[in-house]
Amino acid sequence: MKTKILLVEDDINLGDVLCDYLELQDHEVVRAMDGVEGLEIFKSGNFDLLILDVMLPRKDGFTLAAEIREKNPQVPIIFLTARDRMEDRVSGFKAGCDDYITKPFSSEELELRIGAILRRCQQQETNGQATPGNNGVYALGKYTFDSANHELRIDDKRIGLTTKEVELLRVLYAHKNQLIAREKTLKAVWGSDNYFIGRSMDVFITKLRKYLKDDPDISIVNVHGTGFRLEVKE
């Protein structure tokens, strides 16, 4: 089955090139020219992955991604942008993206990153369903961590998680009350341990801490220069 991709890119020439290339790689591509159109198309269809420019007319890519995340925390999002400052990258990951690619880039690099994200999503789904008796649902202090449905639940509160948040929490959970090296975590979730992705992971750690704040017996401890430990008092 073809991967269905929504491409939101206002540069006509770049959009044409990307559409042609992605379709040659056996993807189905639906295209929008601005953020408002992109949101409307997203609402009307089921997509496996989104590719968003950041500097879009009518609604910028960061705003578009944040609004999409409110409706669907799972769908993978890749940003394409000429904005390569650290502040922009952090803003992108805060908005909920799974990857951030700066222009200029090669079509081959984009396809490799798409493949890596989709493989991780597939692996996550497999892991979430493969363990007999848990169906991807785990007890985490007072919380229920439902990795299959991308949710944290506590009492009557439900918190939607993005794909990357699920992957990161799964890694931390698998090493509960143990120190896991920063580099190992980065490679497990992002497939790379470079500096920029490392800074992005810090954003995700901050978000997970916020989600878990309702249980004082849970904490994500940063061991400076070494890694992280998900501490759960039992």
pLDDT tens, residue order, the chain (234 aa): 789 999 999 999 999 999 999 999 999 999 999 999 999 999 998 999 999 999 999 999 999 999 998 888 888 999 998 887 888 888 888 888 888 898 888 888 899 989 988 887 776 555 544 343 456 788 999 999 998 888 999 999 999 988 888 889 999 998 999 999 998 888 888 777 676 677 778 889 999 999 999 999 999 999 988 999 999 987
Where in the chain are the domains? 3-123, 131-232
9, 31 contact by CB (below 8 A): yes
* H or E segment and range at residue 137: strand 137-140
How far apart, in Å, are the Cα atoms of 136 and each of 128, 131, 132, 167, 200? 4, 7, 9, 12, 26
Strand partners, 18: none
| Record: fold of 131-232 | Arc Repressor Mutant, subunit A (1.10.10)
- Reading phi first (left if > 0) and then psi (alpha if -120 to 50, else beta), residue 132 is in beta
The dotted CATH code for 3-123 is: 3.40.50.2300
pTM (2 d.p.) = 0.66
